[in-house]
DNA sequence: TAAGCATTAAACATAG
DNA sequence: GCTATGTTTAATGCTT
């Protein structure tokens, strides 16, 4: 059953198929061909090595510690959303090449001993396939986590508004690529590779391992398991069975990203595949990207691991014990997992600066959302295009929004991952991030799409949600401006809607700590760390005494870092930093609703903290948390 | 189990 | 009439 599930995971066509055409359509444009060629050849020398030992040395190799980390951290849907389908495919192919040797063993074993071993052998084979597919998922997970630095690295020149970095794929003309593929694959032409990828050339599956990707593609198919849990070996599979399991074909349509062409049968699909999705610069570019992803991952892993150790040493924490990443954890129970992990830390001690739900791994660079909220929420995805995301848990327990965005800005900008924050939090963030702290609805839309790749699709859904939130929550105040209606944030109202906070009651504080405590504390702590490492350190004048900051960290129930930082920058009060009047003045709103002034919540303490110094534009993340209003 | 909250969907109104 | 904007209601699911 698990085998089938995993197989389905890999084969299932991703819901998001938007990015492919963008990716593939921008692979031309000039120079760098030779460099790209050299690079690919260089990489291919490792990828393509026929021997298993050489395969292990290939750039696609991922450290075991990484490969085995947190299989439960990401759902198939997430993987498919985060990685563009071609990336998924390319990654799978690489991984399958790596596993080819293992597959061979399984096949040989199956062929020679099936009659004697019977069900036991089948079970063994299934287990093997399970492990392989799990490994694939791990790799995918790692791949995704490494997507950020890759894209960032490669898209430094891109315009901020570009959804897909156009520089991802240095230009290589098709002829170059064809030749390159020949060199890469050694013997195979693209047509042969395609045939193998389609599973038509089964006879060579176990005999030819010189071509990494085409071979890997063909090797993938035997991994498919039948619904009854039995798996087929290549030679035993009939063509129909083989075809029916083609990863790019399902439900009568081509699953090639962005295609969805209807194919009545497998033959038609194969024809379609050959005609429309032949080997070209698209797949090559994806391959190239993938190579770099892996390389970056390894470099990044080393750096982040070192950083984590240093941080934990500094915090007098136990060195991170290697988490049982292969521990079979239920994806759907990540919420409880999250709490367990939060609770696992001794009271009074901060968590390591990783996401609360993230196993203590060196790979912190990946957005915490991936391992916590996204995992959780996407595991509940259903038919809706956007999917019902229940993220309050992560909002409260995990990484706040500003730090999350600060750390993973590029990631969210490019990866189709839903940010682990509520619409209200995001809207507020968008508004406070604006120069005047007021945005029109359309500007809010633009902020969403600019900041999150996730919100570049299903626009009707999330835009409706944005409007709904703007109207629903009192914290969003519509103001008639010269240019029209703009939306502002009423911080008091925003804080009001939060769960009970510590307003001085020791009992409440204690309850918060012991009850919600660690997750929230961790979130705040993370926020503090993140912010301190990003912005606050650049603005020491904004820092509060540690005691105050520590106290403020106890402020629970916030789903964004703004609040946390506000606390840090307040004088210890857990009340909102800003009064509505402050916002009113800051944005020169002419018609602020009177209810704002009527609010008598304890905001006066915050008046002591004023920041009239304009901040550099690149410190907006902090600025949004510390509006530069002057009290009058 | 109930309450509260977040999300999604939908209907409806209004203004340009 | 269309579109964007804004409001409201309902259903659903999750957390507390």
Average pLDDT over residues A606-613: 29
Q: Which of the four pLDDT bands, split at 50, 70 and 90, describes residue A53?
A: very low
For residue A487, what is the enclosing H or E element? strand A484-489
Digit-coded pLDDT (tens) for A547-576 = 333 333 333 333 443 433 333 333 333 333
Q: Which nucleotide is nearest to A393 (CA to C1')?
A: C15
pLDDT for A281 beyond 80: no
**Closest by CA position to A348, among listed A508, A518, A511:** A518
A485 CB inside 7 Å of strand B: no
Give chain A residues 568-597 with Cβ within 7 A of strand B. none
Average pLDDT over residues A102-118: 40
Digit-coded pLDDT (tens) for A437-473 = 889 999 999 999 988 989 988 888 999 999 999 999 8
Average pLDDT over residues A398-406: 66
Higher pLDDT residue, A426 or A168? A426
Nearest-CA residue to the C1' of C14?
A390
Give chain A residues 489-518 with Cβ within 7 A of strand B. 497
pLDDT for A50 beyond 50: no
Contact A491, A579 (CB under 8 A): yes
Q: Which of the four pLDDT bands, split at 50, 70 and 90, describes residue A491?
A: confident
pLDDT at A393: 35
pLDDT for A374 beyond 70: no
Contact A334, A358 (CB under 8 A): no
CA–C1' span, A231 to C2, in Å? 55
Q: Which of the four pLDDT bands, split at 50, 70 and 90, describes residue A282?
A: low
Contact A145, A5 (CB under 8 A): no
pLDDT at A245: 63
Q: Which nucleotide is nearest to A391 (CA to C1')?
A: B6
pLDDT at A299: 73
Digit-coded pLDDT (tens) for A413-431 = 888 888 888 899 899 989 9
A335 CB inside 7 Å of strand C: yes
A470 CB inside 7 Å of strand B: no
pLDDT at A457: 84
Q: Which of the four pLDDT bands, split at 50, 70 and 90, describes residue A283?
A: low
A487 CB inside 7 Å of strand C: yes
Q: Which nucleotide is nearest to A476 (CA to C1')?
A: C6
Which of A70-79, A160-169, A252-261, A555-564 is the least confident region?
Answer: A160-169
Residue A253: strand, helix, or coil: strand
Percent of chain A scoring above 70 in pLDDT: 22
CA–C1' span, A516 to C16, in Å? 10
Give chain A residues 408-447 with Cβ within 7 A of strand B. 421-424
A465 CB inside 7 Å of strand B: yes
What does the buried/exposed string (b/e) look like for A389-418 if buried means 16 or more CB atoms within 10 Å of the residue's CB?
bebbbbbbbbbbbbbbbbbbbbbbbbbbbb
pLDDT at A137: 52
A388 CB inside 7 Å of strand C: yes
A461 CB inside 7 Å of strand B: yes
pLDDT at A462: 93
Ramachandran sector of residue A468 (left: φ over 0; alpha: ψ -120 to 50; beta: rest): alpha
**Closest by CA position to A43, among listed A90, A103, A104, A85:** A90
A182 CB inside 7 Å of strand B: no
Query: Which pair of structure tokens corresponds to residue A509?
Result: 């504080």
Give the integer Cα–Cα distance in Å for A206 and A215. 9
Give chain A residues 506-565 with Cβ within 7 A of strand C. 516
pLDDT at A441: 93
Taken in order A178, A180, A181, A183, the sign of the CA dihedral is positive
pLDDT at A93: 52
Bases of chain B below 7 A from a protein C-beta are 4-11
- DSSP per residue, A158-220: S-TT-SS-GGGS----HHHHHHHHHHHHSS--HHHHHHHHTT--GGGTTT--S-HHHHHHHHH
Give the integer Cα–Cα distance in Å for A214 and A193. 5
**pTM to 2 decimals?**
0.36
Average pLDDT over residues A79-97: 45
Digit-coded pLDDT (tens) for A227-239 = 333 333 333 333 3
A390 CB inside 7 Å of strand C: yes
What integer best gives the mean pLDDT of chain A? 47
């Amino acid at each position: 059953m698990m085998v089938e599930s995993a197989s389905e995971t890999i084969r299932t066509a991703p819901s998001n198929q938007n990015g492919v055409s963008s990716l593939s359509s921008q692979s031309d444009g000039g120079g760098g061909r030779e460099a790209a060629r050299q690079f690919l050849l260089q990489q291919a020398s490792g990828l393509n090595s026929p021997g298993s030992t050489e395969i292990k040395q290939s750039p696609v190799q991922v450290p075991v510690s990484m490969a085995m980390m947190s299989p439960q951290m990401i759902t198939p849907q997430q993987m498919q959303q985060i990685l563009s389908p071609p990336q998924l495919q390319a990654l799978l192919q690489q991984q399958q090449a790596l596993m080819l040797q293992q597959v061979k063993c399984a096949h040989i074993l199956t062929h020679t001993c099936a009659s004697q071993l019977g069900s036991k052998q089948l079970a063994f084979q299934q287990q093997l396939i399970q492990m392989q597919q799990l490994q694939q998922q791990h790799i995918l997970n790692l791949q995704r986590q490494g997507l950020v630095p890759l894209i960032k690295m490669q898209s430094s020149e891109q315009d901020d508004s570009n959804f897909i970095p156009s520089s991802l794929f240095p230009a290589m003309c098709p002829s170059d690529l064809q030749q390159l593929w020949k060199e890469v694959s050694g013997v195979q032409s693209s047509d042969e590779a395609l045939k193998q990828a389609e599973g038509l050339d089964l006879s060579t599956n176990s005999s030819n391992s010189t071509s990494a990707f085409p071979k890997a593609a063909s090797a993938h198919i035997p991994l498919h398991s039948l619904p009854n849990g039995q798996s087929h070996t290549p030679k035993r599979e009939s063509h129909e069975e083989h075809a029916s399991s083609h990863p790019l074909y399902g439900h009568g349509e081509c699953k090639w990203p962005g295609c969805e062409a209807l194919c009545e049968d497998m033959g038609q699909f194969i024809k379609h595949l050959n005609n429309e999705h032949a080997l070209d610069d698209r797949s090559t570019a994806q391959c190239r990207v993938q190579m770099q992803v892996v390389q970056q991952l390894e470099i990044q892993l080393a750096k982040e691991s070192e950083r984590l150790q240093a941080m934990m040493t500094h915090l007098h924490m136990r060195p991170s014990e290697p988490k049982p990443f292969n521990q079979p954890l239920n994806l759907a129970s990540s919420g409880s997992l999250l709490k367990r992990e939060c609770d696992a830390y001794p009271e009074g001690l901060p968590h390591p600066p990783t996401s609360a739900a993230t196993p203590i791994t060196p790979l912190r660079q990946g957005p915490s959302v991936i391992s916590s909220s996204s995992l959780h929420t996407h595991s509940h995805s259903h038919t809706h295009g956007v999917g019902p995301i229940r993220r309050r848990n992560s909002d409260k327990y995990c990484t706040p929004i500003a730090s999350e965005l600060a750390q993973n800005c590029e990631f969210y900008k490019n990866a189709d991952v839903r940010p682990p924050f509520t619409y209200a939090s995001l809207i507020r963030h968008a508004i406070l991030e604006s120069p005047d702290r007021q945005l029109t609805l359309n500007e809010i839309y633009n902020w969403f799409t600019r900041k999150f790749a996730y919100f570049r699709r299903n626009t009707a859904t999330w835009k409706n949600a944005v409007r709904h939130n703007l109207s629903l929550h009192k914290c969003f105040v519509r103001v008639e401006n010269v240019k029209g209606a703009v939306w502002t944030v009423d911080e008091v109202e925003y804080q009001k809607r939060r769960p009970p906070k510590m307003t001085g009651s020791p009992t409440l504080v204690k309850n918060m700590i012991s009850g919600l405590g660690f997750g929230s504390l961790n979130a705040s702590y993370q926020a503090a760390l993140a912010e301190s490492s990003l912005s606050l350190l650049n603005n020491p004048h904004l820092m509060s005494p540690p005691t105050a900051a520590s106290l403020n960290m106890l402020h629970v129930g916030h789903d964004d870092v703004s609040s946390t930082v506000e606390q840090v920058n307040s004088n210890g009060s857990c009340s909102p930093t800003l009064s509505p009047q402050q916002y009113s003045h800051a944005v020169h709103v002419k018609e602020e609703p009177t209810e704002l002034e009527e609010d008598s919540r304890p905001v006066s303490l915050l008046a002591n903290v004023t920041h009239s110094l304009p901040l550099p534009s690149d410190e907006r993340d902090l600025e949004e948390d510390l509006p530069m209003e002057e009290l009058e």
